[in-house]
Structure 1
Amino acid sequence: MKKIVLMGRSEAGKTTLTQALKGEKIQYHKTQYVNNFDVIIDTPGEYAQTKNLGHALALYTYEADVVGLLVSAIEPYCLYPPCITNMCNREVIGIVTKIHHPEADVARAEGWLRLAGCKTVFYVDSKTGEGVAEILEHLREPGDILPWEKTTNPT
């Protein structure tokens, strides 16, 4: 499985998506520091929102195969400047979260990610699991067995 680093502002859904990708029960957890799991790096939103901490995000791209830029569909603005994906030498994907929220504007969030330079954009509702399988499939490498493909051996 390719390793992904998740970046975005606070409350964009990075930790919730991390839990969904790992097949865990969704529960609120404020990320206070960088969590470097086997194939997921979950970063605090403050790193993306604070100029002096943003440089740390650049370093974590070197530990990942894929950079995931998250934008919540209910965000009033976007942190990412146009063409920001050119700043790292990794594949960068866009992830729109909270797609079923009553105030969601999915098209606006997608537009911001495309303007930032994301060629591939995923749409996710981590609480229902919608879109999670597509991200896992994108991160899959030859020989990887995804959770729904595991067969049980009857004894």
Structure 2
Amino acid sequence: MKRIILIGRAECGKTTLTQALRGHKLQYHKTQAVNRHDVVIDTPGEYAENRELARALILYSYEADVIALMLSATEDYSLFSPNIAAGATRPVIGIVTQIDQENARPDRAEAWLRLAGCKMVFHVSAFTGDGIEELLTYLDASSAADENV
């Protein structure tokens, strides 16, 4: 299975998605430092929100096979710059989280992720399980075509 690094602002669902991908019981846990869980690298949201800390994400991304930019479907804005994925040396995918929320706008979040350069975007809900299997299948695939994502 490919190792994935999850990058996004605080409370977008990185740790909850980590728990769902690993088949663990979902419980809130504030990530204070970069955590490596088997094939998932869970990063604190503050790293993506702070210019100085963001440099660490570049270094940690070298430990991953896939970079995931994450946005909640309830976001009012995207912190990812247009075409930011172009500078990555790994495939960059988008993950829209919290699609089960009442005020969710997954279409808007996906559009922002595509603007950031994500060619492949997954819609997931860690609570309902929607999209989790598709994401796991992608991570498990060993196709050389994935390298062009």
TM-score (norm 2): 0.93
Structure 1 residue ranges, 4+ long, deviating more than 4 angstroms after superposition: none
1:71-92 Cα deviation digits (max 9, x unpaired): 0000111000000001210000
Q: Partners of 2:38 and 2:20 in 1: how far apart?
A: 15
Residue 20 (structure 1) shift: 0.2
Residue 62 (structure 1) shift: 0.3
Percent of residue pairs bearing the same amino acid type: 58
Structure whose CA Rg is larger: 1
- Considering only aligned residues, what root-mean-square deviation do their CA atoms show, in Å? 0.8
Q: Partners of 1:79 and 1:101 in 2: how far apart?
A: 20
- How do 1:1-155 and structure 2 match up within 5 A? 1-141=1-141
Q: Partners of 1:101 and 1:26 in 2: how far apart?
A: 16
1:14-56 Cα deviation digits (max 9, x unpaired): 0000000000000000000000122000000000000110000
Q: Partner of 2:109: helix, strand, or coil? A: helix
TM-score (norm 1): 0.90
Q: Partners of 1:86 and 1:108 in 2: how far apart?
A: 21
Q: Partners of 1:77 and 1:22 in 2: how far apart?
A: 29
Q: Partners of 2:78 and 2:55 in 1: how far apart?
A: 18
What amino acid sits opposite 2:137 in the alignment?
E
- In structure 2, runs of 5+ residues without a counterpart are 143-149
